[in-house]
Amino acid sequence: MCGVIGASTVLAGGAAPGATQYVTLGEYYSTVYTAAPEAHAEYVWWRTEPLMLRVSVTNEGRDPIVLRMPKSGRPFVVSIAPIEGRSQQTAKVNWSSLVTRSASLSERPATLPAMLESSSLLRWTGVTADVSSLHPGIYRFVVRSELDLSGASLQVNNDSVRIDLRDVATDTDRLELLRIRATRCLTERQFACVESFADQMAKLYPQAAIAFWLKGQSAAARGNASSARRHYSKSVELLGSKADRLFTTLNGEHRSSEFIAGIEARLKQLH
């Protein structure tokens, strides 16, 4: 039995391998200074932050697949619906990034039309523009393909993500948001930005071990070993003494121990 999604065919059960679609968040830094997502959600996100979706289409078969942009000019349609409601809206998504990854795991920018070789994937990253207009709550973001796969089948392994969307309402929320922004800056190697957000974290909550870990990461990446050691040591001190009660309460002993072990390993590398 089969149905049609956009210009692609979705086959059930034991159909011949074709392309496989998988959806996740394009950017996520877990939770540290806020509670984990509610039972029906996979991720916590904030209404103030851009929400990025990542869609991968992998060629599971032996033959190359040609992917073309549909006449609509959009590769995917994204709908947003409350997890416990029926009303839904179409999301405005700017699909700003497309890369191809070969079987050797090398990546390069791509454009459509594209020839997708066996065991290779195309990955889109899109920014969802309208989460700030939603009320806090749990939402399901559903991604439907409109790609033209030139007759190849499309197996949808995962078509959605469930988001626990929150307001920034308390100092703890602000601390978590600063951590996310500092981590994003660290990923992008914007070290002045890391320092600024980490300093704001420490000012808001002086016991924030992760603020000093971020400063240590920034210093280590810049080659400043003495500064990195100082900040890493402060982070270990705050975690080991349980002075950072927020971290201990929200993450538990096991995660604290793992984090300390990771920092101590980094300290040994710096000596």
Q: Which CATH number among 3.40.109.10, 3.40.228.10, 2.60.40.10, 1.20.1580.10 corresponds to the domain 2-166?
A: 2.60.40.10
- Which segments of the chain have a pLDDT < 70? 1-17, 85, 271
Q: Compute the distance between CA of residue 271 and CA of residue 247 in angstroms, rounded to an integer.
A: 27
Asked if the peptide bond before residue 113 counts as cis, ω within 30 degrees of 0, the response is yes
The CA-atom distances, in angstroms, between 192 and each of 116, 202, 216, 234, 259 are: 40, 15, 13, 20, 24
pLDDT at 73: 87
pLDDT at 7: 36
The CA-atom distances, in angstroms, between 41 and each of 28, 137, 167 are: 14, 10, 16
The letter for the amino acid at 182 is A
Q: Compute the distance between CA of residue 156 and CA of residue 23 in angstroms, rounded to an integer.
A: 9
- Check: CATH 3.30.465.10 for 171-270? no
Contact 100/42 with Cβ under 8 angstroms? Answer: no
* Sequence spans of domains, the chain: 2-166, 171-270
How many C-alpha atoms does 95 have within 13 Å on its Cβ side? 20
Q: Which residues pair with 142 in a beta bridge?
A: 79, 160
In the numeric block, which tokens belong to residue 123?
A: 């990955």
Q: Compute the distance between CA of residue 9 and CA of residue 4 in angstroms, rounded to an integer.
A: 5
Rama region for 169: left / alpha / beta (φ>0; ψ in -120 to 50; rest): alpha
The continuous run of DSSP H or E covering 52 comes out as strand 51-59
* Sign of the alpha-carbon dihedral angle for 228, 31, 105, 128: negative
Q: Compute the distance between CA of residue 114 and CA of residue 80 in angstroms, rounded to an integer.
A: 29
Tokens 């988001």, residue located:
163
pLDDT at 271: 67
Q: How many residues does the chain have?
A: 271
Contact 122/110 with Cβ under 8 angstroms? Answer: yes
The letter for the amino acid at 267 is L
Q: Compute the distance between CA of residue 47 and CA of residue 229 in angstroms, rounded to an integer.
A: 35
2-166 and 171-270 share one fold: no
Tell me, what DSSP letter sits at residue 126? E
